[in-house]
């Protein structure tokens, strides 16, 4: 199972490099079910792994001038503050037993895994649905326009979700950048990777000191994911990631449903 976990870690990076997002949604399931990491710790480890992998993956976009720094700052600041506060204060404040319905007890770990599964199902929908080819994200005047209230709100919501479940949230960030910041799709992907890297790494360093850190495991999975994103970036020049995105979305949907059934029926 450990070997499968490391192979799956490479696939996380490949999907990030190939389709520009979605791969990080698999990091927590890989850590929990293949590498036997406790769920609360897995969400913390995932922040570091996703943050480091996204930072390296964003290099190519920086080099090709496909990162909008202004947008990254406007969207990133509320997101970074929210994810840091969530890991430092909200997650530690959740009791070990949240509530009970008869003999069924919803623990902190179960709550986080169910929230994660719901997020996976939402992510799968965004990957499966057909994109509108007419939606380029560019305004009629050619100038970038910001809807500041909605950007601040979305940045905060994405930050809280990232802090709770340890996923990068690219499937939420990219549409927001296209619609709210009027960015072209490729620029939205590059900017999203920068935002994910910053908020995930800063959120990780806001982690409670009570969370045990298995650094050899964290660095090993991070290394595998980085190898994967380099492979995915190379393959993206030969393979159209958009064609693979719906199939990956169906896989994520099945995984989300599996987690809900496994966690509630065990």
| Whether 121 contacts 253, CB under 8 Å | yes
Give the model's pLDDT for residue 17. 74
Give the model's pLDDT for residue 95. 92
Mean pLDDT score across all residues of the chain: 84
How confident is the model over 41-70, as a mean pLDDT? 89
118/180 Cα distance (integer angstroms): 24
pLDDT over 90 percentage in the chain: 21
| Whether 113 contacts 32, CB under 8 Å | yes
Q: What's the length of the chain?
A: 266
For residues 189 and 139, the model is more confident at 189
Whole-structure pTM value? 0.82
**101 pairs with which residues across the strands?**
104
| Whether 214 contacts 48, CB under 8 Å | no
Q: Which long-range contacts (CB under 8 A, 24 or more apart) does 182-185 make?
A: 182/137, 182/138, 182/139, 182/144, 182/145, 183/68, 183/71, 183/137, 183/144, 184/136, 184/137, 184/138, 185/136, 185/137
Between the CA of residue 185 and those of 19, 52, 66, 81, what are the distances in Å? 12, 22, 10, 26
Closest CA relative to residue 199, chosen from 117, 78, 93, 89: 78
For residue 137, pLDDT beyond 50: no
| Whether 175 contacts 145, CB under 8 Å | no
Closest CA relative to residue 15, chosen from 50, 61, 44, 62: 50
How confident is the model over 119-141, as a mean pLDDT? 68
How confident is the model over 71-92, as a mean pLDDT? 90
Give the model's pLDDT for residue 102. 83
230/6 Cα distance (integer angstroms): 16
How confident is the model over 187-193, as a mean pLDDT? 86
Q: Name the range with the highest mean pLDDT among 20-34, 93-107, 140-154.
A: 93-107
Give the model's pLDDT for residue 38. 92
Give the model's pLDDT for residue 21. 62
Give the model's pLDDT for residue 36. 93
- Terminal alpha carbon distance of the chain: 20
Question: Could you list the residue range(s) of the whole structural domain that residue 51 is in?
Answer: 2-265
Closest CA relative to residue 222, chosen from 60, 32, 9: 9
41/8 Cα distance (integer angstroms): 19
3-20: per-residue pLDDT in tens?
899 999 998 888 877 766
Closest CA relative to residue 8, chosen from 43, 41, 32: 32
- At 252, the pLDDT band (50, 70, 90 cuts) reads confident
Give the model's pLDDT for residue 104. 86
Counting the structural domains of the chain, the total is 1
Give the model's pLDDT for residue 132. 60
Give the model's pLDDT for residue 142. 55
For residue 167, pLDDT beyond 80: no
- At 140, the pLDDT band (50, 70, 90 cuts) reads very low
97/143 Cα distance (integer angstroms): 51
165/122 Cα distance (integer angstroms): 14
Lowest mean pLDDT among 12-21, 32-41, 109-118, 252-261: 12-21
Closest CA relative to residue 52, chosen from 221, 173, 178: 221
For residue 240, pLDDT beyond 90: no
Q: HSE (CB half, 13 Å, CA atoms) of 23? A: 31
DSSP state of 158: H
């Amino acid at each position: 199972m450990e070997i499968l976990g490391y192979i799956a870690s490479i696939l996380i990076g490949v999907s990030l490099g190939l389709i520009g997002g979605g791969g990080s949604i698999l990091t927590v399931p890989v850590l929990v079910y293949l590498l036997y990491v406790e769920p609360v710790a897995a969400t913390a480890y995932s922040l570091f792994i996703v943050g480091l992998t996204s930072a390296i993956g964003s290099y190519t976009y920086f080099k090709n001038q496909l990162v909008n720094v202004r947008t990254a700052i406007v969207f990133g600041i509320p997101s970074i503050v929210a994810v840091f506060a969530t890991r430092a204060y909200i997650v530690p404040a959740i009791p070990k037993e949240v509530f009970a319905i008869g003999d069924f007890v919803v623990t902190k770990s179960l709550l986080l895994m169910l929230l994660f599964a719901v997020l996976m199902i939402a992510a799968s929908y965004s990957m499966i649905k057909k994109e509108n080819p007419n939606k380029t994200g560019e305004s009629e005047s050619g100038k970038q326009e910001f809807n500041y209230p909605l950007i601040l709100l979305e940045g905060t919501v994405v930050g809280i979700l990232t802090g709770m479940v340890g996923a990068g949230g690219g499937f939420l960030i990219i549409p927001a950048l296209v619609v709210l910041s009027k960015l072209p799709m490729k620029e939205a992907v590059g900017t999203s990777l920068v935002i994910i890297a910053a908020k995930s790494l800063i959120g990780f360093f806001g982690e409670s000191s009570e969370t045990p850190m298995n650094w050899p495991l964290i660095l090993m999975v991070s290394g595998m994911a980085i190898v994967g994103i380099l492979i995915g970036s190379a393959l993206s020049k030969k393979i159209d990631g958009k064609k693979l995105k719906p199939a990956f979305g169906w896989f994520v949907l099945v995984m989300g449903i599996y987690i809900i059934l496994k966690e509630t029926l065990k």
